[in-house]
Amino acid sequence: MENMAKQFPGVFSGYTLQVMESHQAGKLDTSGTAKAVISYFQKLGVSFEVDQVKKIRDPKQQIEMVGVPKEYLSCHAFHMYHLESPDKIVSFEFQHNVCGRSIPAEGTIDAAIFLAKKVQSKADKFIYDGIDVLLESAMR
């Protein structure tokens, strides 16, 4: 999404966006993932604000509306994006879902290894994000 936003700024100007996310009931705020993806859509020309995200936190709705498996109600991250052209004849849907704690835990380990290598090499840069870890193929 980030590369697309850089290469095609404004390409979705006039399109409407709907964003729905589902996380465990205790998570009150909009996820950082959704905020990042929304920022890319904004660069692509879509008018949408983070406060427009539909946050699903009710377990019954998570199962029925979103399709979260019951055993993962306490730990999941489902994100759905629906983009529609002004004339409503073109639409795109993007979705990414994670169930359980293993993926975030593995990502944390990958990031720690990445940072340890940066410290060891005395890198000039001091602030990194998950994209840096991916770009350097530091994942196990």
Instruction: Pinpoint the alpha helices (H) of 46-101.
Output: 59-61
Q: Are strands 54-56 and 16-23 parallel, antiparallel or unpaired?
A: parallel
Question: Could you say which of 6, 23, 96, 118 is catalytic?
Answer: 23
Task: Please report, in tens digits, the pLDDT of each residue of the chain (140 residues total).
Answer: 889 999 999 999 999 999 999 999 999 899 999 999 999 999 999 999 999 999 999 999 999 999 999 999 999 999 999 999 999 999 999 999 999 988 888 888 988 999 999 999 998 888 888 888 888 875 55
Catalytic residue check, 96: no
CB of 66 within 8 A of CB of 20? yes
Q: What are the helix (H) ranges across the chain? A: 2-7, 32-43, 59-61, 102-120, 130-135
Question: 37 near 71, Cβ under 8 Å?
Answer: no
> Which one is catalytic: 6, 27, 70, 79?
27
Residue 35 among the catalytic residues:
no
Helices (H), 16-95: 32-43, 59-61
Answer CATH for 2-100 from 3.20.20, 3.30.360, 3.40.50, 3.40.1130: 3.30.360
Asked whether the CA dihedral 130, 32, 25, 77 is positive or negative, the reply is negative
